[in-house]
Each structure stands twice: as C-alpha cells, then as structure tokens.
Amino acid sequence: MKNEMIRLENVSKIYTLGEIQVKALDNINLSICEQDYVSIMGPSGSGKTTLLDVMSTMMKPTFGKIFIEKKETTKMSNTELASFRGQKIGFIFQTFNLLPKLSALENVMVPMWVNNTTRSERITNAKNILESVGLGDKLQNRPNQMSGGQKQRVAIARALALNPNIIVADEPTGNLDSKSGKIVMDILNDLNKKDGKTLIIVTHDQSIGEKAKRKIVIKDGQILNGNTKVCQL
Amino acid sequence: MIYDLFNEAIKNLSRSGIKTYLTLLGIIIGIAAIVSLVSIGSGLGMAVEQQLDQLGGKTIFVIPGGFQNIRIKLNETDISNFESIRNVESVVPVYSTSAILEFNGEKINVSVNATDSGDKTLFENTGFFNVKEGRDFTRNESGSILLGSEIAENYFEKKIEIKKLVKINGKDFRVIGILKPLPQSFGGGPDPGNTVLMSLDAFKRISTNLNPTIIFINATDKESVPQVVDDIKDYSDKKYGDKSVNVLSSDNLLETINSLLDMITMFILSLAGISLIVGGIGIMNAMITSVLERTKEIGTLKALGASNNKILTLILIESALIGLIGGIIGILLGFGLAEVIAIIGTQSGFALIAVKSYEIIFGALAFSMIIGMVSGFYPASRAANLDPVEALRYE
C-alpha cells in the first residue's frame, strides 16, 4: 500500500453570490496516495475545478481539513501556504498562464526565483528541464513565438522547476489540437510512470480520463465513485 | 533575494514602455524644479553671506529713515556722539547725492558717493569699492574722482578713459581710476559699478547736502556688535523718535536677506511640490494600471509560490524605482538648469552660484524614492491581496 499524499476530510466549499449560497463541494472525503494518477471528471459546474483548487491549496475550503504529506494545510497562514504550494505542487493550466514578456527559459526560472534559488542554478535547472520536454532549441522564445503545444510544454517544465511531488493539471489539453495534446499527455504520463509524480488531472476528455489509474467522477459537489481507495497513513 | 527583486522590478519596468516613461517625466520635472531652485537658492544665500563676511562681521550700518526731503538728517554732532559710544572703533559717514555728469557734451544723471579720505581705507575694507584701473585718491584731492566701470564704459557714446576730464554739476574733475563692479549690490550699499566716488573735499564743491545717507560704524570686535547696535538705537530713538533711524549689523542684514530668500524659496518650492504630488499620483495611476494588467500574472506568481509579501515588495520596488530613476534624471536636469540660470544671472549682474551639494543630491533622491513608494503602496497592497484563484481567472 502506497503512502498517503493528499487527504480531504469533510471538505465543503460554499460560494455566496448575493443572497444565494451555492455548495460547490459537499462534504468530500478523499484520499490520494503517492504516485497516484487521478483524473477528476464531471459535467460543467459539477465542482471539479473547485475540488482541484481546494486540494492544491489555491483556495481554502469553507469547512473541513486538508492534509498534504500529512501536514494540515488548512491551518497554515497565507505566507506559509504560498511557500508550501511552491515547493510541493506543480501547476499546469488550460490557458498555460506563461508570463507573456518572458522567454521560455525565464518562465521556467520563475518558481525558482520565487523560491530564492541562485541565478546560475536557475539557469542550469531551467535549461535541463526544458531540454527534457523537448524544447532545448526554444529557450529564448517568448510565448507568442511558440505553438500551443510548445507553450504547454514550457508550462510543464515550469511546474517541474522545483521538483514537486504533486502535479495538478486543469484541462491541460483543452486548448490544444489532438497531436499536441497527445505529446503533452505522453509527457505527463511519463512524469507519473517514470518519475513517480502524483498526477491529478481535471478533464472533460473521456479518453484522457480513462487512462488514469483512478477515475473520480464528481457531480453537484459530491464524489460519485472512485472514492474507496485507502492509502497507508 | 533583494537583488533578484530589484532585477525583476527593473525588467518589469523596462518592459512596460511608454506608460513608465510618461510617469517618469512627471517625477523628473518635479525633482528638476526643486533641485534647481534649492541649488540657486542656497547659492544666493552663500553669495550674500560671503559678501557680508568681507565686512568682517564688525560693521554696523546706520541708515536714516524717511525719503529725500523728509529724510532724517544726521549731523556732525551725531557722528561724534557715535564715535564716543563704547567699543566703537571708527565711524565712517558716506555722503550721497545725485548729480549731472557731463562728458563730450553728453549729460547724464549719476549718483555720487563721498567719504572723508582719511577714513577711506576703512570704507574700502568693507569691500564695496575696489579700484580696477588707475589709482585711488588721497586726502585733499578735491579735483579727482573714481568712476564706476558701468558709467565709464557704457553710459556715454565714447568710453571715458583714465585721466579724462569730466564735469559734475558744472565743476571740472579728473578721472583717476575706474571702480570694479561688485557682482551684486545689497541692502543699503551703493553699487560701485554705477557710482562716482570722491573725497569729502571734492563733494563739498558740488553739493551742500552734508548729511550722511549711510554711516558705517566699525565695532572693536564681533562680540560687542550687539551692544553697539543697542547703544546707537537708544541714542537715535531718543533723539529722532522710535525707529526713525535704521541700525543694522551685518548679521541683521544677513538674517533679513536670508529670511526673505527663505520665504521666496518656500513659495517656489511649494509650487514645485505640487508638481511632485501630481507626479506621485501619476506613479500611483501607472502602478494601479500595471497591477490590473498583470492580474493574471500575479495570480500565476501566487500559484507558483510567491507570498503576498514578495508581491508587495516587488510592486513597491517598481514604484520606488520609478521615483528613483526620475529623481536621478531630475537631479541632473535640475543642476543643469541651475547652472544655466547662474550663467544668465551672472551675465546680467547677479552673482548667482549653482550649489551642487551632497545634501541636495541625497535629499532629492530620498524624496523621490519616498514619493515612489508612498504612491506605490496602495497598488502594491492591492496586488498582494489578490485572491490567486480569482486573479488567475481574470480576463
């Protein structure tokens, strides 16, 4: 049995829109083990992105506790959380969110800059990671000089900059053609299989969802299936 | 880490283009205005101080109040009474009148100043009169004059040379020397470039007005100046009525001039200050826009682990840098401007000096940086407190 990476205990997220309260997550209990490959699927508005945001510490739940590598993140201050997030979790977004005025190399250097890595180390690391995703020849290209697939590979490289154990990806192929999408998914699969990263993907795409080791379906803020797994505590 | 933040801030600024340059311009203009004003202002103060320093700080000026015919008339008795005041070393009355100077058939109105030639050395020591060409007069020279260089060179069609004969109020006089102009004249002192100087004996030939227009009184030392001033005041207030005679020490004069200068400087500085406030608002505006434009980037930075503090510091450094860069350029421009004003001023007869001191440089730098940071604080805290999820979704 694998060690537990992420645990959600009775987690609810309630949005207040004027006088209406919307329960985006409804009392969720979930355990994700290390080296897991989890896909989160569900119809629009089901709460899958909220689940990812809450799990990845980007958003605090209204109720409940979240543990990452046995540390309770719901107790941390914003500053602690920011640094914890930077080191433990790599983010991949549907819209890439690269800094538009920075080169590929500089974009990958950003998390290391945030983490106070020395400049020479930043350059060496960023180069190596970009080479590993097949962009060794695009170091100086800016986002607007790259295709969608290349941008997403830069984003993956950036997510790997601090060598986190967890990679979360929100619709990573949503803005890509099928060929680029396949390249990106191959890299992500390898990260799980070869490097042992815990991979959590939110997706609409059935074929991507099916490839995950574990499929979680969410509807109306509740997990419908795939919630039985127990990891070693 | 600070170096990195600086580096990043500089990069962000250099990428932001025209908006930053326009914002910089606001600060540059404000700082340049302030720096040039302070530079010229302290130069002016220094020049006045230097001139009064020449007086040695022991000289007291006694100037009868009133105008022309109703001017208080000090007389021989007053002068000898002044001489008998404790700690008075010497008393030098200066007699003045306006007279008609005639040369080559041209007639021009000039001011004439005279003093007893026996006391003249002391009069010269006050620094007002320096002979530029020719020679000085000696006692009893009733037919010689010294001519201000302005009068000699510019008043008449032909330049008046040394040894030429001129007529003053119809009497013949020989020009024996030309007076050097002072860079500027001040408080009660005659302007040597624009005056005719003669001995008292000569003066008696052209004027019957033997009441001094100003009396220079030298105290024995600097420390007794206040006592001498008080004694003269007591004497003249009793005899001629309160404040009918102005008694000024060079310190008084300096104070008066300085307070006047300070007032003018403060007034102009407050005008320049307004332009800096506008510049500061410019920075705030630019930074708010910049933060708004970069909302998504800031969200990304937060997702990548940047703390609120780091983002706050980054934006603050950016706005402080706008202030600082604006300050540096403003200082250079301000000094340049001050130098130009000084040159123009000197050419038109005012001894203006553009003072370039470390105080001005550091003061202006600190001031511009503080303006940058104060203006940047609101946008910076707005950026720092952005919710990462909302910031990432911002379009």
Query: Domains of chain A: which residue ranges?
Result: 37-61+86-217
| A97: contact with B, CB 8 A cutoff | yes
| B370: contact with A, CB 8 A cutoff | no
Burial of B258 (0-12, 13-18, 19+ CB in 10 A): middle
Average pLDDT taken over every residue of chain B: 82
CATH fold, domain A37-61+86-217, is Rossmann fold (3.40.50)
Q: How far apart are the C-alpha atoms of B106 and B150, rounded to whole Å?
A: 16
CB contact under 8 Å between B299 and A119, yes or no, is no
B24 to chain A, closest Cα gap in Å: 21
- pLDDT of B364 strictly over 70: yes
- pLDDT of B3 strictly over 70: no
Q: How far is CA A46 from the centre of its chain?
A: 18
- pLDDT of B1 strictly over 60: no
Tell me the chain A residues in contact with residue B296 when contact means C-beta distances shorter than 8 Å: 97
| A53: contact with B, CB 8 A cutoff | yes
Q: Considering chain B, what percentage of its residues have pLDDT values greater than 90?
A: 11
What is the structure's pLDDT at A148?
A: 92
B22 to chain A, closest Cα gap in Å: 21
Helical H segments across chain A, by residue range: 48-55, 78-88, 104-114, 119-132, 148-159, 178-193, 206-211
pLDDT average, residue stretch B84-109? 87
Q: Considering chain B, what percentage of its residues have pLDDT values greater than 70?
A: 89
Residue B272's nearest CA partner among B220, B333, B187, B223 is B333
Residues A49/A202, Cβ–Cβ less than 8 Å: yes
CB contact under 8 Å between A91 and B388, yes or no, is no
pLDDT digits (tens, 9 = 90+) for B121-176: 555 555 567 777 887 777 667 888 888 888 888 888 888 888 888 889 888 998 88
pLDDT average, residue stretch B239-249? 80
Mean pLDDT, each 10-residue run in order, chain A (233 residues): 89 91 92 93 91 93 94 93 93 92 91 88 94 93 93 95 94 91 93 94 90 90 77 71
A78 to chain B, closest Cα gap in Å: 7
CB contact under 8 Å between B301 and A119, yes or no, is no
B297 to chain A, closest Cα gap in Å: 6
Residue with tokens 């290209």: A141
3-state helix, strand, coil in chain B (%, to 5): 60, 20, 25
CB contact under 8 Å between B296 and A158, yes or no, is no
Residues B372/B27, Cβ–Cβ less than 8 Å: yes
Distant-in-sequence, close-in-space partners of A230: CB < 8 Å, separation ≥ 6: A1, A31
| B297: contact with A, CB 8 A cutoff | yes
Nearest CA in chain A to B308: A79
Nearest CB neighbour to A97, from listed B4, B296, B306: B296
pLDDT average, residue stretch B269-297? 85
Query: Domain extents for chain B?
Result: 2-52+255-393, 59-220
